[in-house]
Amino acid sequence: MSSKPSSSTPPPSVAMGRRAAGVSGAVLRGGGKRLLPFVYAAVTIAVIWELVVVITKPDAAILPSPWQSAQTFAHLVANGELARDVYASLRRVLSAWAGAAVIGIPLGLVMGYSHRFEKIADPFIELLRPISPLAWIPLAILWFGIGEIGKVFVVFIGTFFPIVLTTVAGVKSIDPTLINAGRVYGCTSGISLFRKVILPASLPSIVVGLRISFGMGWAAIIAAELVAAQSGLGFLIANGMEILRADEVLVGMVVIGVLGVMFDSVFRYAHRRLVWTE
C-alpha cells in the first residue's frame, strides 16, 4: 500500500522555485536599496530645477524646464542621434583606456617590484603626470589633426597615470610574508611569482586604478569633443551651445552623469569581488 506524501511538504520543483524566487527577491531588494539614493538625488535636482524655471521664467534657449528637456531626450533617442553620440564617445574612451591598461599595468607591476627600475621610470612619470589632459589637446590637434587618433591620445594621457600609480601602490602594499611564502611553495622564478602571487594580490588596487582612470578618461573625452569633433556627447553639448539649444546641452550632461554612475557601479562591484579578506 503506497503512502501519500504529506501535504505540508511541497514537491522538489516547487521548493526550488521558492528558493530561486527568494534569491531573486533579495538581489532586487539589494539593488533597489543602492539605487534609492540616486533616485532621491535625481528627484531633488529636478524639483529645484523646475522651481528655478517657475520663479525666474528664463527663455527656453537659456534654461528649459525638465519636461522640455525630457521631450528633447525622447526625440534624440527616437531619431538615433543620441545612440550614435554615446557610441562614439564610448568607443574612444574604451580604446584609450584599454591601451593605457595594457601598458600601464605591466609598467606599474615592474616599478612596484623593482626599486632600481622605479628609480629610472619614476622621474618621467612625475614630470608628465601633473600636466592636465586638456593641456595636450592643442598638441593632439597639431600632431594628429581632428580625427579619432587625437581624441584617443588625449584620453590615453588622462587614463595612463592613475593606472600606473595605483598598480605601483598595490604591489608595494603586498605583505612580504606572502611573497616569501610564494617562493617557499614553488614560485622560484620571477615570472611564476608575478603570475601566482604579485598580480593576484595587486588586483584590488589595479581595479581601483582602472575605476579612477575611466572616470578621468570620461571627463577628458568630453573636453576633447568640445574642441574638435563631429560626433560624441561633447559634440552634442558644443553643438547645442552654438545653436542656442540648452535642452540639448542638458540632455548631454545628464547622459554623461548617468553613464558615469553606471560604469562606476560596475567597477565598485568588481572591487568588492576582488578584495581579499584575512
Q: What is the dihedral of CA 206, 209, 213, 214, to 10 degrees?
A: 60
Q: State pTM to two decimals.
A: 0.76
* Average of per-residue pLDDT values in the chain: 81
Identify the burial level of 149 via C-beta atoms within 10 angstroms of its C-beta, where 0-12 means exposed, 13-18 middle and 19 or more buried: middle
Task: Retrieve residue 203's grid coordinates.
Answer: 588586483
Residue 162 has pLDDT above 50, yes or no: yes
Q: Is the pLDDT of residue 260 over 60?
A: yes
pLDDT of residue 62: 84
Q: pLDDT digit string (tens) for 177-186?
A: 776 777 666 7
66-274: CATH superfamily? MetI-like (1.10.3720.10)
- Residue spans of the domains in the chain: they are 15-57, 66-274
pLDDT given for residue 277 in this prediction: 43
Sign (positive/negative) of CA torsion 186, 112, 263, 47?
positive
The closest of 224, 246, 244 to 235, measured between CA atoms, is 224
> Where does the pLDDT of residue 21 fall: very low under 50, low under 70, confident under 90, or very high at 90 and above?
very low
